[in-house]
Structure 1
Amino acid sequence: MEKIWGIGPLQIVTEQQILENQYVVIEGKKICQICDAKQLPADCEIVHAEPNFKLMPGMIDQHIHGIAGADAMDGTGESLQTISTSLAKYGVTSFLATTMTADVELVKSVVQTIAQNKEQVNGAKIIGIHLEGPFINPIQKGAQSDQFIIKPSVELFTQIEQAAQQTIKLVTIAAELDEDHSLCNYFKSKQIVGSIGHSDATFEQTQTVLNKQLIQNATHFSNGMRAIHHREPGLQIALLQSDSMIEIIADGYHIHPKMIRFLFDTVGEERMILISDSMRAADLSDGIYDLGGQQVQVENGLCKLVGKENIAGSTLNLNLARKNMKQWLKLSDVTLAKLTATNSAKLLGLANDKGSIAVGKDADLYVLNEQEEVVLTVCEGKIVYQNTKLKKRLLNEFH
């Protein structure tokens, strides 16, 4: 029998409501009970929290390149471990290691390394790969290298997929370049999420792939996309009028907060997903950093290609994104849990185990204090981060 332990008393943010003065009880990897103090199992060890602390479902970052000096494209287990432990500090318990457009042989090597190391990291869990490129449109390349952009190809993708040991969960594609829809149809057959991005698709082209249910997500919405025009609405309007999910980088640089307000009011809380799209400069000071073989200047947290105006990733983390959305849009914690966990879990087919706090689901959780700081992160029943300032206070009776 596995050890039983719990966290409480605190506010527990479930998919429907906030439960006051409750405990979550964990056995092995799973949540086995949500209860008050009187209902706690006799042999349950307790991590003592505060009644005004909040327990949130572990966040899922489905679009993350790097943090703390590491990048998925480094192609090393050490970099993946750095990303994993760094994300845990911000309440992220699952992520898709995200690639960049690069030489195909390098991409194959990188995805193979991710697949081989996905079970070895001991912070946030690698739940698969987000392949961002090389099947993108040069017109909307953003900070991706046009040297290695390739027209969508089932043959080439299957080579990458084989190197990745079938761990690719989401692919960013300029769907208008997949003229016969063969690659998008392949994604659908393999239950891989097709995500339109770095795309110059027209309204009609986008509507076609949406109507065929070949696209389920929009990569960093508004960025790397044809602009909205009153005579040619483009892919953004087609996406907003569909049931597609849209990724939002809520750092104040990529999309104006007032625009995010408009987007949220348009698609609602069930279709928006917060992402970081962070690069290796996240958690580090301003300076010049590498991103996919290109040099990026970071000033006041804003990332741009050196000598250009192209925004190149971010230095955002999901807890800051969550706090920004709370401040800008006055969203409830229940809604924010959907934007940071539930919606992504549903998109990626993980909702039976992840994305919300419920009995029988994975114990992927984080605790927020009164200042909205992450003080404890639990991934599949294991504590993977503890705020040292509050460690004694929070764990004073936990052995």
Structure 2
Amino acid sequence: MDYQVRSNPFTRRRFLSLTGKAAAAFAIIPNVAFAGMLDEKKVRVAIVGGGFGSAFNFHEHPNCIVEAVSDLRQDRREKLMQVYKCSKSYESLEILLKDPKVEAVFIATPAPDHVRHTIATLNAGKHVLCAVPAAMTLEECHQLKNAVQRSGLTYMMAETTAYRQNTISVKKFYKEGAFGKIFSAAAEYNHPGLEDYFFDNQGKPTWRHGLPPMLYPTHCTSFLISVTGERLTHVSAMGWGDNNPKLQNNPYKNPFWNETAFFKTDRGTPFRVEVNWKGALRGAERGEWRGDKMSFFSALQEGGDHTIVRTADTLGHDDAGFKNKTNKVETYKQEFWWQTDMLPEPLRHNSGHGGSHTFITHEFIDALVKNRQPEVNIYEALAYTVPGIVAHQSALKNGEYMKIPNFDK
């Protein structure tokens, strides 16, 4: 093989040293010196799941070989083979895991299968990149963490929000101290019309049927955690449902279309999160970071303008005529980080979810080649995922204030 599976020397102590501003620095410029200095090692990767799994760029990465693909459906296997220019396919993950040439697997299967598929892959001695969320229950979170630690292999969660172009910019601002003190934050993930995915073309329920919004929290929680390294410690959440027949008899026993959570972090920062499946909403994945020197507001919709507000000493008047200092509001011209040497040259193009897919591709492959931990490792993945699980429990209890367990230890 071109690349050997090996034990990962990463320790919890080293992880803690990378949180906060250090983690942001590591994330904003992970490979500033790699241009023209690519390692010759090749990682043999398999992609499992022909829906989301077909939207990435492993075949373009100079340190990657797409060894095999898999999906239960033949049409999706064929799609994966076409996208990744791969001639080897398997009818199931179980069969694929017997292939000794496969060294790492991208698991892009339905969310309820993530933990089972990840553990099976780790037990087969292969590294894992897994779609979000990491797990669906607290019990699964414990099982996943134990399996990763026991294996000594690399685990990464493919969270797109951490690598959106505006999130990368905010990481840079935070590293530079531009915000001053971030005193509050907010995030929302609006996916109106999700009920169209509750059933397939034959009317059979899919895994999304009745999916509790807060069990899919990572597109929101990562907006804050990936920037500051904070941990969400407490939550009170509420849900909204309308007794719609489409919600009836779902496997999650979930009554809610939409859920709103109010989190507290380990630094005392209030953080509001909304995940909404239904209503008069714009589709959006956006964050807000409010500081005493500067604030950043993501665009209200994909492709729109981001806004920066800076404190200023200019004396003005409010709408009642009272004198006050007015802040400076400006449109932020988004820098396209995918055009920079943060990526290998073949990956320097736009990609899905705000330009994040090429970054996820590179972060996983580069972590394996350099034998380092990826940014969204098991600890970060659970920090993004666990708060949503507890928030849904709170919503079912009419907003009960609940403590969120910490999986860093």
With the shorter chain as reference, the TM-score category is under 0.3
TM-score calculated relative to the size of structure 1: 0.28
Q: Which has the higher helix share?
A: 2
TM-score calculated relative to the size of structure 2: 0.27
